[in-house]
Amino acid sequence: MDRGKPQRGRSRPSTRTAATRRCPMRAAVVYQAGAPIDVVEFTSGSVGPHDVRVRVGASGLCHSDVAVQTGDLPFPLPMILGHEGAGVVEEIGADVTTCQVGDHVVLSALIHCGVCRNCLKGRPNLCSANLDLTFPGTDAADGATRMADSQGRGLYQFSAIGTLSEELVCNERRAIPIPKDVPLEVAAMTGCGVLTGTSAVFNRAKVQPGSTVVVIGCGGVGLNVIQGAVLAGASMIIGVDLHEDKLAMAQGFGATNLVKNESAEATVAQIFELTGGEGADYAFEVVGIPALVRLGWDCLRQDGTVVAIGVQAAGALTELPGLEFCMTEKTLMGCVYGTSRPTADIPMLVEMYRQGQLEIEKLITHRFDLEEINGAVDKMEDGHNARGVVVF
pLDDT tens-digit map of 198-246: 999 999 999 999 999 999 999 999 999 999 999 999 999 999 999 999 9
Q: For 270-295, what is each residue's pLDDT tens digit?
A: 999 999 999 999 999 999 999 999 99
What is the model's pTM?
A: 0.90
Architecture in CATH for domain 194-336: 3-Layer(aba) Sandwich (3.40)
Any idea what DSSP says for residue 98?
A: S
Residue 309 to residue 63: CA distance in whole angstroms: 12
Q: How far apart are the first and last CA of the chain?
A: 16
The CATH class given to the 18-190+360-391 domain equals alpha beta
Residues 6+ positions from 242 with CB-CB distance below 8 Å = 260, 261, 262, 383
pLDDT value for 172: 95
- pLDDT, one tens digit per residue, over 164-211 is 999 999 999 999 999 999 999 999 999 999 999 999 999 999 999 999
C-alpha R_g of the chain: 21
Domain(s) labelled CATH 3.90.180.10 in the chain stretch across: 18-190+360-391
| CATH 3.40.50.720 segments of the chain | 194-336
